[in-house]
Structures are given as structure tokens and as C-alpha cells.
Amino acid sequence: MRFNSSQRFYPETRMRRMRANDFSRRLMRENVLTTNDLIYPVFILDGENRREPVASMPGVERMSIDLLVREARELVSLGIPAMALFPVTPSERKSLLAEESYNPDGLAQRATKAIKDAFPELGIITDVALDPFTTHGLDGIIDDEGYVLNDRTVDTLIRQALSHAEAGADVVAPSDMMDGRIGGIREELEDQGFVNTRIMAYSAKYASAYYGPFRDAVGSAGNLGKGNKFTFQMDPGNSDEALHEVALDLAEGADMVMVKPGMPYLDIVRRVKDEFGVPTFIYQVSGEYAMHMAAGQQGWIDADACLFEALVGMKRAGADGILTYFAKQAARLIHNQ
């Protein structure tokens, strides 16, 4: 007979009994955060020995490739398995057709080569999207009315993803939300022999207000202006649609799927994990980071305790891994424990 909790009664059952000591709390803990759950996003600058603070993300810096290689050494020492790269494209290299996105000597491509040469064991995840490379800040090629052209954009995304694989990327991560891009990228990677290059699909990426500091960091906020991404990113009110998006990406060859943002969308993570049982990731985005940091700096919250609780909550919701700007801080907390 299946166990029914209603068959347990007080005082024979005291739920606090197992909470009484540290050892028993540890023994019955259902979800544990480890360094294996962490992915560290970084912003790449051109030049050498350059670092710039991101004003809206205290503690986060844009860094040149040589400094990122040093950063990679620290990640390896902390046991963090992967780094996600986001280039800051100079304005003179942005264009309507985003040609810089697939330049073999572009920032993301050069950074990938440099880090993989120095630390081949560190996973490199590259962002496949055009917003850092377009003059208008949208994630694709637009028509005369400013509408993002899906299939024309996918053609460029395929070229971008292939250039990342050729540079040595372990995982390409399309974050653009164009229809059909996963299938196109998978077919090209297979045709060119990159059969083990994984695809992490941003399958349920919402048109969120939490992305503002990220756009500041990569320099696309000014280009986007008062524009929006409602025609391709998901409506925050939708949940069933996310499952449809995930199903399509898996059918097209995605190895992993992503829900973005993080804490406001934990219900989506749970539904995706329950429905598909595939590697499911979540992005604790820049706005979440900025709010957490601001509250911590004001002394309104215990920053370390709240950070840990937030990340464990993402694990509890079903996430197999978490992209977070807190990755190094979390790893140090884990080691100290």
C-alpha cells in the first residue's frame, strides 16, 4: 500500500525530531549545492590587461582575454566546471547584419582558444546570439519595420555557432529564441564533424525586466534604446508555452535546456524537469544579482546566507546546473563549509 502522510499522527510522529541536531538534518537533506552545479558567466573586453567594473553589477568586471585566462585558473582551483563567455563588442564592429558574430578572430573565438589552450579541462560555453553585434541591439537581422527576420537570422546564428565550435567551444548556447535555430545548428555541427559539441538551448527565455544590468555589461542597452524583444522572447504570463518550446528544441537536437531568468521562473524549471527529465539549467540573471548585492550592501539581508538559499532553491526546483555571477563566492562558501 502506498504511504500516505495522513496516516501519521502526533505525538508518535514529531516532525521536529529529525531537525533537532545537525547530523540528522544533514542526513535527511534532500538537495545539496556543490561546485559541480555552478557555471560562471564572464564579460570579455578587447585589448590587454584591461578590466572595467560594471556599475550596475557590483563586484563584476569586464576583462580582457589575458585576465580571463587568470580567472579561469581560479575557477579550476575552486572546482567550478564551466565558464560562459559574453563578448563586449566595440561600436565600430557592430552592424545591421552582425558580421562580427562569426569572425574567427572575434572576441569570443579568441577567448575560447586562449582559455582552452591554458585549461583544457574547463568547460567553455559560448553565447550564440546577435544582440552584442547589431547596431539596434536586437537579437537578429531586421526588416525595414524593425521586425526580426527569423530564417535570415538563423542563417547567421549557424555561422556563429560553427565559428565557436571551430575555436574549441565545448558547448554552444543559442539564447536568441529564433524558431528552428537548434536544428540548423545541430545539422551544421554534424556535417562539419563537431559531433561532440553540445548545444545548451535557451528554450524558455522570457521577455524579462531583469536583464537590464547584463545589457549594460555587454554594451547593447544603448543600441536597444526603447526597443523591446517581445516578438521573440516569451511572455512572462505563459507556462505551457515553455514546455512546447523545450519539446521543439529537444526534437531538433538540444543536449541541455535552459530557463531564464531564475527565481521568478522556478515553476517552469520544475515543469520542464518533470515533463522531460533532461539536463535542465537555470540562469540567475543580472537583475537578480544586482538586487541581491544591493540589499546585502545595505545590510538588509545576510548576503551569504540568502545567496546560498537562493541557489539551493534552484536545485530544489529541478535545476541540474546554475549560471550565476555568484559562482566563485558560492564555491568558496561550499569549500568553507
In this prediction, residue 8 carries a pLDDT of 82
In this prediction, residue 96 carries a pLDDT of 94
Question: Is 185's pLDDT higher than 70?
Answer: yes
Residue 135 corresponds to which cell in the numbers above? 547596431
In this prediction, residue 228 carries a pLDDT of 80
Model pLDDT for residues 239-254, shown as the tens digit of each residue: 999 999 999 999 999 9
Question: Is 221's pLDDT higher than 60?
Answer: no
Question: Is 19's pLDDT higher than 70?
Answer: yes
Residue 112 corresponds to which cell in the numbers above? 575560447
Separation between Cα atoms, residue 111 and residue 113, nearest integer Å: 5
pTM to 2 decimals?
A: 0.93
In this prediction, residue 227 carries a pLDDT of 67
Separation between Cα atoms, residue 302 and residue 137, nearest integer Å: 36
CB 60 within 8 A of CB 289: yes
Residue 337 corresponds to which cell in the numbers above? 563549509
Residue 330 corresponds to which cell in the numbers above? 558560492
Q: Let me know how many helices (H) and strands (E) the chain has, helices first.
A: 12, 10
Q: Which residues are part of the catalytic machinery?
A: 205, 260
Separation between Cα atoms, residue 284 and residue 293, nearest integer Å: 13
Cis peptide before 11 (omega within 30 of 0): yes
Amino acid found at 100: E
Model pLDDT for residues 278-329, shown as the tens digit of each residue: 999 999 999 999 999 999 999 999 999 999 999 999 999 999 999 999 999 9
List, in sequence order, every residue forming a beta bridge with 277; answer none if it has no partner: none
What sign does the dihedral 234-317-307-112 (CA atoms) show?
negative
Q: Exposed/middle/buried for 335, CB within 10 Å: 0-12, 13-18, 19+?
A: exposed
CB 32 within 8 A of CB 310: no
Please name which of 226, 54, 60 lies closest in space to residue 137, comparing C-alpha atoms.
226
User: Which residues, in sequence order, are CB contacts of 131 under 8 Å at separation 6+?
Assistant: 137, 138, 139, 176, 218, 220, 224
Model pLDDT for residues 107-130, shown as the tens digit of each residue: 999 999 999 999 999 999 999 999
Separation between Cα atoms, residue 313 and residue 292, nearest integer Å: 15
Q: Up-side HSE of residue 296: CA atoms within 13 Å toward CB?
A: 16
Model pLDDT for residues 46-70, shown as the tens digit of each residue: 999 999 999 889 999 999 999 999 9
